[in-house]
C-alpha cells in the first residue's frame, strides 16, 4: 500500500513545548511533576509521561480542587498548553509548590486580545466549544462578558451586546466556519471587531487534507485519541472531501478497518498525537497488501 503522510501530522509546537517543559523538570530532578489536567489528550503518551515521573492531577477542564501536599520541596505544577483562566492561575499559585505556565503562546495571544478589548468595555464572542479547556480559560479574560458560540443560531440567540463587540476563535477551529460566523455576526453587529485567532498549525493541518486529496489518495487515516477534540475535527474535515475516513488511535485497529481495499492512503494526525504512534501506524499500513493483489506473485 502507498502511504502519503501529511507534512503537519503530529505534535503542534505548542504541545511539544509543553511536553518539553514538563520533561525538563522531570529530568532535572523535580519529583513529582504535576500537570493541571492531562498535559496531552492522548492516553499512550500520558502513560509514557507518567513513567517519566509526570503525573496528571485535576480534570480535563481544570475545574476541580487539587489534592497536593503543599511545600513539597522538589515538586512542580505545570499548566498545559490549553491555558487557564486568571482565577485558576491565582488558585494554582496559592498551593505552595513551584508553578510553571506552559500555555501555548498562540493561546496566550488570544487571551491578550480578549483582555485588551475587555478593558475597553467590549463584549467577547468566542467561536469554540464552551466545554473545551481552552475556551473555559479564555472566558476568564472577558471580565464576565464572554459568549461562546458554534453556530449562526448561537449568534442569533445572543443578547443585545451594544456597540462594542469583539469576536475571536478557539485556536483549533475550522477557518471557513470562523469566516462564515464572523460575517453573520457583523450582520447583527456591523461594527464588530472580528479577529482570526486560529493558529497556524491548525491551518496547516486543514490545508494538508486538501493537498492529500489532490494527490489522489483513496481514503484518509486520521491518527489520534478518540476523545481528542482537534483530532476529531481533523477527521470531520477529511470526511467532508467525500473520501472514506478512518479515525484510529493505535496500529491494533488497522485490521478492523478493511483498509486493504485501498492502494493509496493519506495519513494525518492530530496535534496531540506522538511521533512513535504515527510512525508505527504508517509502517504497518505500508506493509498491507491491497486485497486485489493479495496472494499474487
pLDDT above 70 coverage of the chain, percent: 97
pLDDT at 292: 64
| Contact predicate 85/136, CB 8 Å | yes
Q: Work out the pLDDT band at 42, boundaries 50, 70, 90.
A: confident
| Contact predicate 103/83, CB 8 Å | yes
| Calpha distance 87→240 (Å, rounded) | 39
Active site members: 134
The domain limits of the chain are 2-10+200-293, 13-103, 106-194
- What CATH number is given for 13-103 in this structure? 3.40.50.11270
pLDDT at 295: 43
Nearest residue to 83 (alpha-carbon basis) of 128, 51, 27: 128
Q: Is 296 exposed, middle or buried (0-12, 13-18, 19+ CB in 10 A)?
A: exposed
Please determine, for residue 96, whether its predicted confidence score (pLDDT) is greater than 90: no
Q: Does domain 2-10+200-293 have CATH number 3.40.1010.20?
A: yes
Lowest-pLDDT range of 55-64, 111-120, 165-174, 236-245: 55-64
Chain segment 189-242, per-residue pLDDT in tens: 999 999 999 999 999 999 999 999 999 999 999 999 888 888 999 999 999 999
The CATH class of the 106-194 domain is alpha beta
pLDDT at 283: 96
Average pLDDT along the chain: 93
Residue 70 vs residue 207, higher pLDDT: 207
Please determine, for residue 293, whether its predicted confidence score (pLDDT) is greater than 60: no
Domains 2-10+200-293 and 106-194 belong to one CATH topology: yes
Q: Is the pTM of this model over 0.75?
A: yes
Reading the block at residue 13, the C-alpha cell is: 509546537
Amino acid at each position: 500500500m502507498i502511504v502519503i503522510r501529511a507534512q503537519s501530522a503530529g505534535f503542534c509546537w505548542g504541545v511539544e513545548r509543553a511536553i518539553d517543559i514538563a520533561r525538563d523538570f522531570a529530568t532535572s530532578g523535580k519529583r513529582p511533576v504535576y500537570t493541571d489536567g492531562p498535559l496531552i489528550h492522548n492516553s499512550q503518551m500520558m502513560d509514557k509521561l507518567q513513567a517519566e515521573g509526570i503525573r496528571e492531577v485535576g480534570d480535563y477542564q481544570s475545574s476541580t480542587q487539587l489534592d497536593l501536599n503543599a511545600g513539597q520541596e522538589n515538586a512542580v505544577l505545570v499548566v498545559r498548553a490549553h491555558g487557564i483562566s486568571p482565577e485558576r492561575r491565582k488558585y494554582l499559585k496559592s498551593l505552595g509548590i513551584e508553578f510553571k505556565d506552559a500555555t501555548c503562546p498562540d493561546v496566550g495571544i488570544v487571551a491578550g486580545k480578549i483582555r485588551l478589548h475587555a478593558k475597553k468595555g467590549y463584549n467577547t464572542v468566542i467561536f469554540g466549544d464552551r466545554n473545551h479547556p481552552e475556551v473555559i480559560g479564555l472566558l476568564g479574560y472577558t471580565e464576565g462578558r464572554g459568549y461562546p458560540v458554534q453556530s449562526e443560531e448561537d449568534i442569533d440567540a445572543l443578547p443585545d451586546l451594544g456597540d462594542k463587540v469583539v469576536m475571536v476563535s478557539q485556536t483549533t477551529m475550522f477557518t471557513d466556519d470562523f469566516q462564515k460566523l464572523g460575517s453573520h455576526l457583523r450582520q447583527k453587529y456591523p461594527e464588530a471587531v472580528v479577529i482570526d485567532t486560529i493558529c497556524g498549525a491548525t491551518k496547516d493541518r486543514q490545508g494538508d487534507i486538501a493537498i492529500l486529496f489532490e494527490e489522489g489518495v483513496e481514503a484518509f487515516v486520521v491518527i489520534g485519541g478518540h476523545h481528542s477534540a482537534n483530532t476529531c475535527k481533523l477527521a470531520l474535515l477529511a470526511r467532508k472531501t467525500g473520501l472514506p475516513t478512518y479515525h484510529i488511535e493505535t496500529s491494533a485497529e488497522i485490521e478492523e478497518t478493511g483498509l486493504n481495499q485501498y492502494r493509496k492512503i493519506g495519513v494525518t494526525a492530530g496535534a496531540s498525537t506522538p511521533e512513535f504512534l504515527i510512525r508505527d501506524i504508517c509502517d504497518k499500513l505500508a506493509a498491507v497488501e491491497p486485497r486485489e493483489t493479495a496472494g499474487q506473485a
